[in-house]
Structure 1
Amino acid sequence: MLRQALRSPYLEVSLEELKATGWTKATRTSVAWEGLRFAHPDGLYHLPEALHMDGAAAPTPDGAAQDDYPLHLLTLLAPDYVNSQVGLPGRQPDDGAPITVQVAPECHALSTLDLDRPVFVVSPHGRMPVQVQTRPGIHPRTVIMPRGGWLAHGRSPNALIAPLSTDMGDGAAYYEQRVRLEN
């Protein structure tokens, strides 16, 4: 695995050299697109030729229909965390309450929920208890969940997200996950 991870056009080190030195420097430039010169022959930025907004989402296992998961999950940065690390003094990773998600007041899922009973956000990959808060301005088919909760305390969106790569850029497809809210 380590040798495979070192196979990169930006690394010029063997596993043995890395073990001996303990570090290596990547050959990437320190500033992406320095001078606003992009990796195209003309040096200009090119918008994508196609946007993949056709309703496709992360695959659902066991033959579940996409309609079973009508909401898009957005896992946005929480202001008091740096990824999974607690940022504010006195903030505990598990304060006993479910993580709070936000939806639009006109979110269709609200019509089927009893907010006086436990609510769960559900994907084909997991289920997590949540508190639901409404906030105007959110798209009605979106659930916003803050990043930063610990998986060990049942507060991390990673438990809900499929392990996918993006179609462009070879990154993690965090925003492809579809979910539903249920009691």
Structure 2
Amino acid sequence: MTRFLHWSMALGLGAQIALGLSMTHAGLTDTQAYRAFQVHRALGVTLGILAMLRVLWRLGHRLPYPHRSQSRLVAGLARGGHALLYSGQILLPLTGYGLACAAGPDMPLSMFGLFDWPLLSFSPGETGVIILTAAHRWGAWVFALLIAGHAAAALCHAALAHDDVWKRMGPSFPCRSRSRR
């Protein structure tokens, strides 16, 4: 379950980053930008739910011990990095949801065209929207950097350290064919 949640989040977050960048920097038409925006919002809700499931799962299951080759400093940095990653997985969907609520009922939060996600009725005012927008945008950039650092550390484990960290959390492919005797 840990791997499934991890890699589901990784794929979803990769899509969110791509959507976010395309919405703001790709010069999309208004129609394309609106569609990307709607998918970004629905995926954000989905990832927020997955993040909460990850937190609940983590509360019920111990963290794996740091690899024996890791120094206390590296193990501490890893724990801190993971705490920041979990924080981003919770805070970004919350700020995005806050923005969706602030937009009001004129812009429903459609869940991939299947149903509308309920919005809270509140108005943070113009200043609140500016703060939520800045928190969401800058938080996304910081989160993307954290993800890049996390990926770099994982690749270092796989390519340089040759320890079992990659084997513990790397993607597994259960449908791989196995030779039979």
- Shorter-chain TM-score bucket reads under 0.3
Bigger proportion of residues as helix:
2
What is the TM-score normalised by the length of structure 2? 0.22
Bigger proportion of residues as strand:
1
What is the TM-score normalised by the length of structure 1? 0.21
